[in-house]
Chains A and B, each alone.
Chain A
Amino acid sequence: MRGTVGVIANPIAGKDIRRLVTAAGHTSDSSKIDIVKRCVIAALQSGADRVLLAPDPHNLATRATAGLGGRTAVIDSVVHGSRDDTVAAASRMWKEDVGALIVLGGDGTCRDVALGWPDAPLIAISTGTNNVYPRFVDATSAGAAAGFVASGAIDIATAGRRSKRIATTISTADGIVDDLALVDLALIEATFVGTRAVLDPAAVRVVVASCASPASTGLSSIAGRVHPVDRWSPGGVLVRLAAGGRRIRVPLAPGSFTTVEIAEVLPLADGQRVEIEGPGVLAFDGERDRRIGPEVRVTARVEATGPLIIDVEAVLLMAAADDLFAEREGDDAQ
Chain B
Amino acid sequence: MELTRDVQMDLHRRMVRIRLFEEAAGRLAEAAKLPGFLHLYVGEEAVAAGVCTALNDDDHITSTHRGHGHLVAKGGDFNRMMAELMGKATGYCKGKGGSMHISDLSLGMLGANGIVGAGTPIAVGAAFADKYRKRGQVAVAFFGDGATNIGAFHEAANMACALHLPIVFACENNEYGEFTRRDRTMAITDIVDRAVGYGMPGVIVDGMDVVAVHEATLGAVARARAGGGPSLIEAKTYRFYNHHGVQNLGLKYRTDDEVAVWKQRDPIFSFEERLIDVGTATAADIEQVWSALGDDIAAAIAFAEDSPLPEPDQLLVDVYTTHTNHTNHTDHTSMTARGAS
Contacts and interface: CB of A to CB of B under 8 A. Distances in A.
Interface of A: 11-12, 15-21, 26, 28-30, 57-59, 80-81, 189-196, 199-200, 203, 291
A16 to B, nearest CB: 6
A11 B192 CA distance: 12
Nearest to B195: A26
Given A15-B204, A19-B202, A191 B189 contact: no
B205 A192 contact: no
A129 to B, nearest CB: 11
A191 B214 CA distance: 14
Considering residues A16, A19, A57, A193, which has the most beta carbons from chain B within 10 angstroms of its beta carbon?
Answer: A19
A11 B190 CA distance: 9
A219 B3 CA distance: 22
Contact of B189 (A21, A59, A80, A200): A59
B278 interface: yes
23 contacts: A15-B190, A16-B203, A16-B204, A16-B205, A17-B205, A19-B192, A19-B201, A20-B203, A20-B219, A20-B220, A21-B222, A26-B202, A29-B188, A29-B193, A30-B188, A59-B183, A191-B8, A191-B278, A191-B280, A192-B278, A193-B209, A199-B1, A200-B2
B313 interface: no
Interface in B249-297: 261, 274, 277-278, 280
B274 A192 contact: yes
A21 B204 contact: no
A191 B219 contact: no
A191 B215 contact: no
Contacts of B3: 191-192
A162 B136 CA distance: 54
Given A190-B2, A192-B211, A203-B2, A21 B193 contact: no
Given A26-B195, A29-B190, 9 more contacts: A11-B190, A16-B204, A19-B202, A19-B203, A20-B231, A26-B196, A29-B189, A59-B189, A194-B209
Contacts of A20: 201, 203, 216, 219-220, 223, 231, 233
Given A20-B223, A26-B196, A28-B193, A194 B203 contact: no
A21 B2 contact: no
Contact of A17 (B8, B196, B216): B216
Contacts of A80: 261
10 smallest CB-CB distances across A and B, nearest first, come from A58-B189, A21-B219, A194-B211, A19-B201, A192-B211, A28-B193, A20-B219, A195-B212, A15-B204, A195-B215
Interface in B189-239: 189-190, 192-193, 195-196, 201-205, 209, 211-212, 214-216, 219-220, 222-223, 231, 233, 236
Contacts of A57: 189
A15 B2 CA distance: 22
A15 B203 contact: yes
B264 to A, nearest CB: 11
Considering residues B3, B205, B274, which has the most beta carbons from chain A within 10 angstroms of its beta carbon?
Answer: B205
A18 B3 CA distance: 19
B202 A17 contact: no
A12 B193 CA distance: 11
B278 A291 contact: yes
Contacts of A190: 2
B12 to A, nearest CB: 13
Contacts of B216: 17, 20, 195
Contacts of B8: 191
Contacts of A16: 203-205
A26 B201 contact: yes
Contacts of B222: 21
B2 A30 contact: no
Given A191-B278, A195-B212, A11 B189 contact: yes
B192 A15 contact: yes
B281 to A, nearest CB: 12
Contacts of B280: 191
Contacts of A26: 192-193, 195-196, 201-202
B58 to A, nearest CB: 23
A291 B2 CA distance: 13
Given A194-B209, A195-B215, A291-B278, A30 B204 contact: no
Contacts of B214: 194
A90 B189 CA distance: 23
A291 B219 contact: no
B260 to A, nearest CB: 13
Contacts of A192: 3, 211, 274, 278
A233 B183 CA distance: 47
A17 B1 CA distance: 13
A87 B98 CA distance: 48
B29 to A, nearest CB: 32
A24 B222 CA distance: 17
A17 B203 contact: yes
A220 B226 CA distance: 30
A80 B204 CA distance: 16
Given A58-B190, A191-B278, A203-B2, A15 B202 contact: yes
Contact of B205 (A59, A195, A199, A200): A195
